[in-house]
Amino acid sequence: MGRVSGSPIEGTSVSTAPVSTVRMSTAPVSAAPVAGSPGGPVSADDRAHCPATSVLHRIGDRWSVVLISLLAERPYGYNELDRAVADLSRRVLTRALRTLEHEGYVSRTARAEPPYRVEYALTGLGRSLHEVLVLLGGWAEEHRDRLAGEGAGEAVGEGAGEGVREGG
């Protein structure tokens, strides 16, 4: 194995297998039509306007899925959420809740009379997203072995020799 230096993957081990068995391309995704793709290549504009991209970006942060999963159980007050999630600062909790509310996944209700309380709950859109997250979680659990360890490397490099490997 050789070491790659002076690149974004500096320090990553790579295979020294003959080039003919390692299938890697440095061409941009939109350089050529994808085989079987009815519309040709996917442009940056296509990616930017894809509704799934924005959803994946939103739930891809560290806390959104956790908060959506908690709120799927029942409505929570702000302090309850703060206590329910370890290692989540109040600042980040506030930011995540505001973003989820702004995007329509969570509703915020402030009570104007004592006891003063702010309550967060999933909206219909948030509940439908939670259903998809449960399915995604089931898929990830089903494929846990393949997604972790050697299985993940095999999935990426199937039929392509050793390919690129992380580690030392």
Domain extent listing, the chain? 50-159
pTM for the complete prediction? 0.61
Residues (pLDDT < 50) of the chain are 1-36, 151, 155-168
pLDDT digits 0-9 by tens, 76-88 = 999 999 999 999 9
pLDDT digits 0-9 by tens, 107-123 = 999 988 888 899 999 99
**Tokens 């020799």 identify what position?**
161
pLDDT for position 47 = 81
Distance CA(22)–CA(15), nearest Å, equals: 8
Q: Going along the chain, which residue ranges are E strands?
A: 2-3, 13-14, 76-77, 106-110, 118-122
Q: Could you tell me which CATH class the domain 50-159 is placed in?
A: mainly alpha
Residues 15 and 161 sit within 8 Å (Cβ to Cβ): yes
